[in-house]
Amino acid sequence: MPENTAAPTRAKVLWLARLEYRFHAWRERRARRRGQKPTVTPFPCYAGPDWVRVLGRVMIVPPVKQTESGEFASVRGWRSFVAVPIGYAQVTVTIGGTEHVVVADRGGVIDTRLPAQLEPGWQTFTLSVEGGEPVETRAFVVGPDIRFGVVSDVDDTVMVTALPRPLLAAWNSFVVDEHARQPVPGMAVLMERVVRDHPGSPLIYLSTGAWNIAPTLMRFLRRHVFPPGALLLTDWGPTHDRWFRSGKDHKLSNLRRLAQEFPNVRWLLIGDDGQHDDEIYTTFTDENPHNVVAVAIRRLSPAEAVLAGGRTAVNDHAAAEVPWVSDNDGAGLLERLEEAGVVSADSPR
């Protein structure tokens, strides 16, 4: 009878996950002995007419120095990863005067759905931990009459990162000053045009990046005039059954969740050919053709493709039920989307 090797592999990964949690618990005890207290870092989220998907993370964050003018100094990526996550923290969420107590996961991440009655558009609510000062955050409430939405990748679609190459990914994530990160040309204009052309529509930034970079990403989007939207990132490290989380599974599961939560919304999916966006969007479109209005894939330049470890093979979508367009930058994609009728051609640029 052949030997069963599945159980030892699973136990090994479970041991790694437990070790990670113990390491963070040790760091938490040291930080608390120094008098530091946890806080909630909220992330912009989305909501329906009678619920809110609350997103945030409980951490002890090293203070950021201020310049003589009172502004915060530039932040290098590594600072986002030295914060201490507080696992299983109890967080009080107050929405419309109603308090809810939720529990963060092992990595301090809050991702929960709560009942709420909110008007369409951006609405605010608060989160607090251990009796600390409430922190305000926002959710974009999708009205019941909305039929259009946007899901956009971030790495090499919004921000030039060359993420698939491990060493470059580490350099961009841990070393590069946030002000040195460059936007993909024309993408901010594309996003703004699409959102303006479809008032009240949700915009979701879906990335395989870690939640640690969320504050940096939010500042980057504001600095380069991208329209605000909800963030859906992931948590790095081992899970209960594997060494590292799957970025493809993260993206696909969130797309499927959006289709279930907003069955009447058709999504414009924006990505690039440097990772697995074409494969992910193909799978989702095949499963939910009625939930996709179009797919826009940015083609990496030859230099970017080399840094990204090459391009992924793009499927033939000539016979697809929804339009698939591609171009080199945001301006080109906007023209292709105008030709496909997704964006009004007579809308002012």
Q: Which of the four pLDDT bands, split at 50, 70 and 90, describes residue 33? A: confident
In angstroms, the CA 194 to CA 203 distance is 10
Q: Which of the four pLDDT bands, split at 50, 70 and 90, describes residue 329? A: very high
Look up residue 332 and give its two tokens. Answer: 């080109």
pTM score: 0.83
Cβ atoms of 326 and 314 within 8 Å: the answer is yes
For residue 348, is pLDDT > 60?
A: no
CATH number of 39-141: 2.60.40
In angstroms, the CA 137 to CA 127 distance is 8
Find the largest Cα–Cα distance for the chain. 73
Q: Give the closest residue to 227 by CA, choosing from 140, 327, 299.
A: 140
**pLDDT tens-digit profile of 183-216?**
999 999 999 999 999 999 999 999 988 888 888 8
In angstroms, the CA 53 to CA 236 distance is 21
The full 3-state SS of the chain, as one line of letters, equals CCCCCHHHHHHHHHHHHHHHHHHHHHHHHHHHHCCCCCEEEECCEEEECCEEEEEEEEEECCCCCECCCCCECCCEHHHHHCCEECCCCEEEEEECCEEEEEECCCCCEEEEEEECCCCCEEEEEEEEECCCCCEEEEEEECCCCCCEEEEECCECCCEECCCCCHHHHHHHHHHCEHHHCEECCCHHHHHHHHHHHCCCCCEEEEEEEEHHHHHHHHHHHHHCCCCCCEEEEECCCCCCCCCCCCHHHHHHHHHHHHHHHCCCCEEEEEEECCCCHHHHHHHHHHHCHHHEEEEEEECCCHHHHHHCCCCCCCCCCCCCCCCEEEECCHHHHHHHHHHCCCCCCCCCC
Cβ atoms of 150 and 267 within 8 Å: the answer is yes
Confidence (pLDDT) at 6: 37
**pLDDT tens-digit profile of 251-290?**
999 999 999 999 999 999 999 987 688 999 999 999 999 9
For residue 149, is pLDDT > 80?
A: yes
For residue 72, is pLDDT > 60?
A: no
Indicate if the alpha-carbon torsion angle 96, 149, 169, 88 is positive or negative.
positive
Confidence (pLDDT) at 52: 98
Q: Which of the four pLDDT bands, split at 50, 70 and 90, describes residue 71? A: very low
Structural domain boundaries in the chain: 39-141, 148-339
Look up residue 22 and give its two tokens. Answer: 């113990």
**pLDDT tens-digit profile of 87-127?**
899 999 999 999 999 999 988 999 999 999 999 999 999 99
For residue 84, is pLDDT > 80?
A: yes
For residue 243, is pLDDT > 50?
A: no
How far, CA to CA in Å, does 201 sit from each of 223, 265, 268, 302? Answer: 22, 9, 11, 34
In angstroms, the CA 118 to CA 140 distance is 10
Q: Which of the four pLDDT bands, split at 50, 70 and 90, describes residue 227? A: very high
CATH number of 148-339: 3.40.50.1000
Q: Which of the four pLDDT bands, split at 50, 70 and 90, describes residue 11? A: very low
Q: What is the mean pLDDT of the chain?
A: 81
Q: Which of the four pLDDT bands, split at 50, 70 and 90, describes residue 178? A: low
In angstroms, the CA 150 to CA 265 distance is 10
For residue 70, is pLDDT > 50?
A: no
For residue 297, is pLDDT > 80?
A: yes
Look up residue 213 and give its two tokens. Answer: 């970079």
Confidence (pLDDT) at 240: 44
Higher pLDDT, 338 or 349: 338
Look up residue 101 and give its two tokens. Answer: 């107590």
Confidence (pLDDT) at 8: 39
Q: Is 324 left (phi over 0), alpha (psi -120 to 50) or beta?
A: beta
Confidence (pLDDT) at 25: 75
In angstroms, the CA 318 to CA 339 distance is 15
Helix axes 247-261, 277-287, angle to 10 degrees: 30
